[in-house]
Amino acid sequence: MSDQTPDFDPGKDKPSLAAILTPQGRGAIATIGILTPHAIDLVNRFFKPANNRPLTQVPTGRILFGKWRVTPDIMEELIIHFHSSDTLFVHCHGGTVPAAMILRSLKASGCQHTEWNIFASVSSSCDIEMAARIALASAQTSRTAAILMDQFHGALRRVLTRIQEHVLTKRYALAAGSMAALLRHAEFGLHLTKPWKVVVMGAPNVGKSSLVNAIVGFQRSIVFNEPGTTRDVVSASTAIDGWPIEINDTAGIRVSSDPIEAEGIAGAKQHAEKADLILFVSDPNSPWDGEKKRHTVHTPKSILVQNKSDLQTSQLSTAPNQILTSAVTGEGISDLIQQIADLLVPFPPARGSAIPFEESHLETLRNAKTHLEKQRPSQAANCLAELLASSGHAPAKA
Ligand SMILES: Nc1nc2c(ncn2[C@@H]2O[C@H](COP(=O)(O)OP(=O)(O)OP(=O)(O)O)[C@@H](O)[C@H]2O)c(=O)[nH]1
Ligand SMILES: [Mg+2]
């Protein structure tokens, strides 16, 4: 094959990289990303466009349909997207075999095989963009993905650049104010790639499992009219208002001599310690005790759920953060779901807002803010420059 393109030498300058970007397994389409300074030469070796036009006439951004020679006698029908002068995407049939065969032909031509996340990082123009690309793979809802897309398109970078300008032009109060505004999104930003954890706990038989099933909309937990039904922690993934939530049903809290149940109760308490929000489920007819009170006024990230409202006989207290529900009739369930969203994300950011979304962003921002507060503007500027830096491995944009 080398006689077709005598000038093509992939080892000459920057290495050519190829990565399968779609996950393993069955699917209609697989995508291979190729990063190469020799895009046309490389594609010419294998690809015959259906319209027979020379590839040199294909403008950047165009899509071409044709056949790729994976072996001397096997041609694969596929689509090539000429994304930029050095980046191509090959969309072939799904499953593992076609993509693997195309990759093999590329490797035989001197392309280095790399993983999708390495490909994403080297094809990004700055480290924040690179991190956003990789974080997007962990986004579980379209709402969190849209916010990460905003960061990919420069929302965070633009605000950091403005803060850097404020520091360099000695407008320290403006810089400090903007950093504080970014840091207010700290917890939220980390949840763009990690679901919020909601733990449902309370006494046995109050309807915890029934409530979890009502919230997620399917029978995830076993419900039974016998205290001590749920033993282990039962988790379910859902989305509320577009926010990804991991909801955990737990064993009813009581003094138990049964070692398995006692283990389940200990597990419930451990999960509650790591929760972003606790739903403390209780019976509306049970007395207004210290435990109920603790989950209203004293614990901000907690909702007191007075379940079995259909059996309610006594008057409810007027304490805040409590809600009356019935897992049987459905009363109060949609209000409970809304209250969960409001407590977890009280101030959803507007579209296009800058959101720091990695621990390293927050740490560097906090350091920059401290330097500024301690009248060390040059160190603050260094921190910001570090955040805005590129690792230097990004190729030039088309
Ligand atoms: N009337 C009425 N019954 C309910 C309601 N919620 C749950 N129940 C019933 O109460 C019983 C216990 O429900 P579960 O959901 O298993 O209670 P739990 O709190 O998970 O119980 P444990 O796992 O044993 O701690 C079952 O018979 C449910 O059908 C409700 O809102 N109203
Ligand atoms: Mg249960």
Gap from CA of 226 to ligand 1 centroid (Å): 8
Instruction: Name the band, by pLDDT with cuts 50, 70 and 90, for residue 127.
Output: confident
Q: What pLDDT digit, counting tens, does each position of 75-89 carry?
A: 999 999 999 888 999
Closest residue to atom 32 of ligand 1, CA basis: 308
Best residue for ligand 1 mutational test, from 200, 223, 250, 283 (most atoms within 8 Å of Cβ): 223
125: its two tokens: 């123009």
Best residue for ligand 1 mutational test, from 205, 220, 307 (most atoms within 8 Å of Cβ): 205
Q: Report the pLDDT value the prediction gives residue 13, as an integer from 0 to 100.
A: 61
Q: Report the pLDDT value the prediction gives residue 211, as an integer from 0 to 100.
A: 97
Single out the residue of 98, 91, 89 nearest to residue 69, CA to CA: 98
Q: Report the pLDDT value the prediction gives residue 10, as an integer from 0 to 100.
A: 45
Q: Report the pLDDT value the prediction gives residue 298, as an integer from 0 to 100.
A: 55
Tell me 127's DSSP state: H
Report the pocket of ligand 1 as residue ranges, CB < 6 Å: 204-210, 223-225, 227-230, 252, 307-308, 310-311, 326-328
Q: What pLDDT digit, counting tens, does each position of 335-394 carry?
A: 999 999 999 999 999 999 999 999 999 999 999 999 999 999 999 999 999 888 865 444
Q: Report whether 88 contacts 80 (CB < 8 A).
A: yes
Instruction: Name the band, by pLDDT with cuts 50, 70 and 90, for residue 321.
Output: confident
Backbone phi, psi, residue 33, to 5°: -95, 140
Q: Which atom of ligand 1 is nearest to 230's Cα?
A: 23
Q: Which atom of ligand 1 is nearest to 307's Cα?
A: 31
Of 5-9, 67-71, 73-77, 236-240, the least confident: 5-9
Q: Report the pLDDT value the prediction gives residue 191, as an integer from 0 to 100.
A: 97
Res. 9: pLDDT tops 90: no
Res. 97: pLDDT tops 60: yes
Region 316-320: mean pLDDT is: 73
What is the radius of gyration, based on Cα positions, of the chain? 28
Q: What pLDDT digit, counting tens, does each position of 222-250 carry?
A: 898 888 888 889 999 999 999 999 999 99
- The two beta strands, 29-35 and 17-20, are antiparallel
Closest residue to atom 2 of ligand 1, CA basis: 308
pTM of the shown model? 0.80
Q: What pLDDT digit, counting tens, does each position of 163-212 carry?
A: 999 999 999 999 999 999 999 999 999 999 999 999 999 999 999 999 99
Q: Which atom of ligand 1 is nearest to 228's Cα?
A: 24
Mean pLDDT of the chain: 88
Q: Report the pLDDT value the prediction gives residue 1, as an integer from 0 to 100.
A: 36
The sign of the torsion formed by the CA atoms of 201, 202, 203, 204 equals negative
Res. 310: pLDDT tops 80: yes
Q: What pLDDT digit, counting tens, does each position of 38-63 carry?
A: 888 888 999 999 999 888 878 888 99
Tell me 139's DSSP state: -
Q: Report the pLDDT value the prediction gives residue 300, as an integer from 0 to 100.
A: 65
Residue 33: CA count within 13 A, CB half-sphere:
21
**Structural domains for the chain:** 2-122 (3.30.1360.120), 127-185+350-388 (no CATH), 197-344 (3.40.50.300)
* AA identity, residue 120: A
Res. 295: pLDDT tops 70: yes
